[in-house]
Amino acid sequence: MNIDETESHTRALGQWNRDTWLRVALAGPLTTTALQQIATCLANGPDLSALSENALIRAGVSSTAAKLLLRPDSALDPAREWLEHPGNQLLTLISPEYPPLLREIPDPPVTLFASGHYEFLPLPQLAIVGSRNPTPAGEITAQRFARYFAGRGLAITSGLATGIDAASHSGALDADGITIAVCATGLDLTYPAVNKALAARIAERGALISEFPLGSAPRRHHFPRRNRIISGLAVGTLVVEAARRSGSLITARTALEQGREVFAVPGSIHNPMARGCHRLIRGGAKLVETAEDVLEEISGLVGAQLEQAGEPPEAPPVREDPLDSDYIRLLDSMGFEPVNQDTLVERSGLTAAEVSSMLLILELRGTVAAGHGGLFYRTGANGRNS
């Protein structure tokens, strides 16, 4: 139930002070129903600490949440200190900066911790998600799509995970665009730790948000809740690579349930990281080969913003010597599917030493990338037919 449906509750919530909202935020993710129950208890005054645990339980608040809501005042001190840092903010369901699209989903987060430029959250957003262990080609695809869309004025939203998420955030930053990271931990932690530097860059040029209280470590059940925020913020969700049982498919499913667009990039039938995308396409997701495939679906929703942004700046041309016939033969032998070095030797007729040396040169050019299991992939850059 949307809190805006009850005008009296909205007025009551508007009287709450920061500490009351902070108690609600630190009690863990609460539903709008629980928020209404708390508002009913506070109908005669906004002082939550003056209530009894039994009063909250009688109103329908769980015993666990009631205990957390009534913790000693000193328990709020770490969060109060965190909020004193520039760029840190606690947004509530009635805050003017609360993202309007997120407010429309069936179970919007009651509160959001935000770090960075939280004023960007109402901007039109496109979510880009996918595998934590993508192929090199998938990672490059995500980065290029994100860079292009960010250059067109869309904020790029993802989950700060390794792989496709990190590539999407990085692509948006490369375009001097805006990117939003939705975290599955408290914002005083960075998960995974390897993305700590990336998180700092995001805070400078976008925002990190979480509905989880400060100090919350990553838990398995946090990620589906995070995913519904990723899709809820965005007009559409683009899945670049996903295995058949990928968490990205949860994001896509919640996007559909929220009435948002879902897009998927197809891949090789031999690539297990493409099977989730193929499953989405069979289920009705829009097949994406170019950025225009996405823009034509969402332009009606964000067209004005895209027109104001104009065309993205083109990347400077890469000037390199053309490939000779042996390199062309090797690339043709590779095709557009992952392949190991022995197969390339067999297909091309080149020696193992020649193939090894040429692959190194092609990697340095960015035409080929090495993946897991000794497989090589074409990246779509600087090569014939790329």
Share of the chain above pLDDT 70, in %: 89
Quick one: 139 exposed, middle or buried, by C-beta within 10 A (0-12, 13-18, 19+)? Answer: buried
- What residues form DSSP beta bridges with 114? 89, 209
DSSP string covering 241-279, please?
Answer: ---TT-HHHHHHHHHHHTT-EEEE----TT-GGGHHHHH
Question: Between 132 and 336, whose confidence is greater?
Answer: 132
| 182 SS3 class | strand
Q: How far apart are CA 362 and CA 383, in angstroms?
A: 9
List pLDDT tens digits, range 150-183.
Answer: 999 999 999 999 999 999 999 999 999 999 999 9
Q: How far apart are CA 116 and CA 201, in angstroms?
A: 10
Q: What is the pLDDT of residue 102?
A: 97
List pLDDT tens digits, range 258-282.
Answer: 999 999 999 888 788 899 999 999 9
Q: How far apart are CA 260 and CA 237, in angstroms?
A: 8
Q: What is the pTM of this model?
A: 0.82
With CA atoms as reference, report the closest residue to 46 among 14, 19, 15: 15
| 57 SS3 class | helix
Percentage helix, strand, coil for the chain under 3-state DSSP, each rounded to 5? 50, 10, 40
Helix axes 7-14, 32-41, angle to 10 degrees: 70
Q: What is the pLDDT of residue 319?
A: 41
Q: What is the pLDDT of residue 147?
A: 95
Secondary structure element (H or E) that encloses residue 129, with its range? strand 125-129
Residue 291 has pLDDT above 70, yes or no: yes
Mean pLDDT of the region 378-385: 58
List pLDDT tens digits, range 307-324.
Answer: 554 444 443 343 445 678
Q: How far apart are CA 267 and CA 279, in angstroms?
A: 11
Q: Tokens 């939203």, residue?
A: 157
- 326-364 in b/e form (b: 16+ CB < 10 A) is ebebbbebbeeebbeeeebbebbebeeeebeebbeebee
pLDDT band at 306, cuts 50/70/90?
Answer: low
CA distances (Å), 258 to each of 1, 30, 207, 214, in order?
14, 19, 23, 27
Q: How far apart are CA 123 and CA 98, in angstroms?
A: 11
Tally of helices (H runs) and strands (E runs) in the chain: 17, 12
First to last CA, the chain: 50
